[in-house]
Structure 1
Amino acid sequence: MNFDAHCDIWTDVTHHYLNQEHDIFRKYHYERLKKGQIEGGIFVIWNDPPFDADPLKRTHQMMAAITQEEPECADILKVSRSYEDMMKAKEEGKMYAFIGLEGLKSIGEDVDMIDEFYKFGARHASLTWNEENPLATGALGTPERGLTDLGKRAVHKLEDLGMILDVSHLNDTSFWDLLSTAHGPVVATHSNSRALCNQRRNLMDDQLKELARTGGIAGLNSFNEFVHAEEDKQTVENLVKHLVHMVEVMGIDHVGFGFDFSEFLCGDTLSSFSSQANPYTIGLEDASHVPNVIAEMKRVGFHEDEIEKIAYKNWHRIIKEVIK
C-alpha cells in the first residue's frame, strides 16, 4: 500500500461542492486511488489560483466542503486527526486523509488563526505556496527574503500544536531560516532533487541532508516539470532516478511519496503553475498508475522492505512522532 503525502483532492471536492454536488470523493476519486493502491495521505487546503485573491474566503469554502463530505464518505474514507485514527481506518478497510494546509496566506498576520484550523482538524502546514506573504517567501518570491519574525512565531506554534511542518514551496532563504528555527522533524512533502532537475521547487543535496538530520522526509513529486527539463524524458524511469539519488543522499528512512497529482484540476488553476499541456509524468498519468513506480523501483534494485519504508512506513513514523 502507498501513502501520498501531498494530494489536492479537497480542491476538486470544493469545485463540485460549489456546484451543489454531494458524495464527491466517491464519485470522482475513490476508484482511481484504490486502483493505485493508495491507502491514504495528506489532502491539502490550498488557495488555488484564481481564488487566492481572497485566501481566507477560499479556505473557509474548502472547510465547508470538507464538513459536508466527511460524513457522506465516512464508509470509505476516514478524515483522520491522529495516528490512532489512521490505524483504525486501516483496520476497518477504509482510506484515510489527514487535512493539510498548503500555505498560510489566509491567516494574514494573525498567527493565532492557526488554532482555528487545528481545531477543525488540520495536522500539517507549510508557510507559503509560491508567493511571498507576511510569514515567509515562496519559490517564486524575492530570493533574498526569508522568514519574518511572524513566520518564526508560526513555526513555533505549529510545532507546539503537533502539526507536521513542511518546507515544500519555500525559497532557499526561507528554507534555511525555517531549519534554524524548528526543533523537531521537518519534511518536504512534495519536492524532488535539484541535482537531477534544476528547478527552484526541487531541493539541493545539502537541503536534503539537513531534512534527514532533523528526522524528516522528502516526498517524491510526480509533477513532470520537476522530473526532467526535456518533455520526452519526463518518465517514470527518470522519476525513480530522483528517488534513488534522494535515498543515496538522505538514507532509506527519510524518503517517501508526495505525488502532487493535478490532472483533475481546472484549467485556470493548472495553467498558474504548469507550462506544458499536461502536468503528469509519462507512465504516471494519475494515481491509478502508482504501481508503475513500484515496478520500476523493483527493477532498479530496491528490496521489498525498502519499498515498504518509502511507500508508507516512513510517513507513518512521522505521523506517530509529530502529531499529538
Structure 2
Amino acid sequence: MIFDGHSDIWTDVAIKTLNGEKDIIRRYHLDKLKKGNITGSIFVIWIDPPYTDQPYKRAMEIVDSIKKESEYIKDSILIARSFDDIEKAKREGKLYVFIGLEGLSSIGENLNLIDYFYDFGARHASLTWNEENALATGVRGNPQRGITELGKKAVRKINNKRMLLDVSHLNEKSFWDVAYETDSPIIASHSNCKHLCDVPRNLSDEQLKKIAELGGVVGINSFNEFVHHDIEKQDVRMLVQHIEHMANVMGIDHVGIGMDYCDFLDDSSMSSFSQQETSYTKGLEDASKTSKLLIEMEKAGFTAEDIEKVAYKNFHNIIKKVIG
C-alpha cells in the first residue's frame, strides 16, 4: 500500500475532457497507479500554466471535468471525504482519492469559495502555488511578503473546516506566518530537504522541525530538480537520502510520499517551472515505478515498520486526526 500525497492527475483529466475525451483515468492512469502499488492519493485542482491569469475560470473548468470523469470511475475510484472512506474503499477494492486545492488563487478575495470547494469534496488546501495572491506568497514571490490578513482568515477557515493545510510552495516568510497562525497540524505534501538540494521549493531543517512539532507530515517529492543539483545524482537512491535526512531531523513518524509526477503534463505547463529536459528522478519515471522507492528504502536499512509509515501510515494518521 502506498499513499501519494500529491498528484496533478485532475489537470490531465481537464485537458483531455476539454479536448473531447472520456474515461481518462482508466485509459491513461489507472494501470500505472496499480502497478506502482498506489492505493490512495490527493489529486489537486491546480491552476496550470498558461491559465494562471484566469484562475477562477480554470478552476471551474477542472471542477466540471471532475464531475464528468466521476461517472466513469465509480467502479474503480472512491472520492474520499473522510478517513472512513479509506476503509470503505479498501472493502470495495477501490483506489481512494481526496480532492485537493493546490493554491487558492482561484478564490481571489472571496473566502466563501472555500466553502464551495469543501462542499464539492475538497479536503486539502494550500494558500498558493508559486505565485503571490490575495492570501499569501509563493516561492517565486517577494521574499519579504508573507501571508496577508485575509490569508490569516483563510488559515483559520481551513482549520475550522478540518481540511489538510499544505505549506508546499509557500515562500519562507509565508511558511512561518502559517506555522504561527494555524491551530492544526500542517503538511508539506511534496517537498524535499534544502540540506541536500538548496532550492526555494525545498525545506530547511528548521522548517522540517516545525512541521514535526505541529504534528505534521512531509511528502517526499520525485521532481528531479528538488533531488540534487547534479543531474547524475537525480536518482531514487538520492531521494532515499532525503528520506533519511527527514527521519533524522523530524522523526520517521513525520515522513510520507508526495511524488508529484509530471510525465503527463505538456510543455506549456512544464516550461514554466522545469529547467531540464526531463522532470523525473531516475528510477521513478511515472506512477508505475513508485514501489521502487520502498525497495530502495529497504536496501538502505529502513525497517519494515518504518517503510510502512512512510508508504501510507503517517499520512493516514494525519488524515484521521485532521479530517476525521
TM category (shorter chain) comes to: over 0.9
Structure-1 separation of matches of 2:29 and 2:53: 27
Counterpart check, 1:148 vs 2:151: no
Give the SS at the match of 2:198.
coil
Give the SS at the match of 1:51.
coil
**Aligned-pair Cα RMSD in Å:** 0.6
Aligned to 2:303: 303
Aligned to 1:261: 261
Q: Which amino acid counterpart does residue 77 of structure 2 have in structure 1?
A: L
- Give the conservation status (yes or no) of the 8 Å contact 1:190–1:221: yes
- Give the conservation status (yes or no) of the 8 Å contact 1:75–1:94: yes
Structure-2 separation of matches of 1:188 and 1:6: 10
Structure-2 separation of matches of 1:264 and 1:14: 12
Structure 1 residue 90: Cα displacement: 1.2
Aligned length: 324
Structure-1 separation of matches of 2:17 and 2:40: 21
Q: Which amino acid counterpart does residue 31 of structure 1 have in structure 2?
A: D
Deviations 1:25-74 (A, max 9, x none): 00000000100000011000000000111000000000001101112111
Aligned to 2:293: 293
* Structural mapping, 1:30-109, within 5 Å: 30-109=30-109
Structure-2 separation of matches of 1:128 and 1:73: 29
Aligned to 1:284: 284
- Give the conservation status (yes or no) of the 8 Å contact 1:89–1:95: yes
Structure-2 separation of matches of 1:47 and 1:181: 25
- Give the conservation status (yes or no) of the 8 Å contact 1:137–1:145: yes
Structure-1 separation of matches of 2:154 and 2:284: 35
Structure 1 residue 212: Cα displacement: 0.3
Aligned to 1:122: 122
Structure 1 residue 113: Cα displacement: 1.1
Counterpart check, 1:170 vs 2:148: no
Structure-2 separation of matches of 1:149 and 1:292: 43
**Structure 1: gaps spanning 5 or more residues:** none
Structure 1 residue 104: Cα displacement: 0.1
Deviations 1:133-184 (A, max 9, x none): 0100000110010010000000000000010000000000000000000011
Structure-2 separation of matches of 1:60 and 1:43: 15
Counterpart check, 1:134 vs 2:128: no
Structure-2 separation of matches of 1:139 and 1:90: 37
Structure-1 separation of matches of 2:317 and 2:290: 21
**Structure 2: gaps spanning 5 or more residues:** none
Structure-1 separation of matches of 2:295 and 2:20: 40
Structure 1 residue 266: Cα displacement: 1.0
Aligned to 2:207: 207
Deviations 1:54-97 (A, max 9, x none): 00000000000110111211111111111111210111111011
Q: Which amino acid counterpart does residue 234 of structure 2 have in structure 1?
A: Q
Off by >3 Å, runs of 4+ in structure 1: none
- Give the conservation status (yes or no) of the 8 Å contact 1:9–1:43: yes
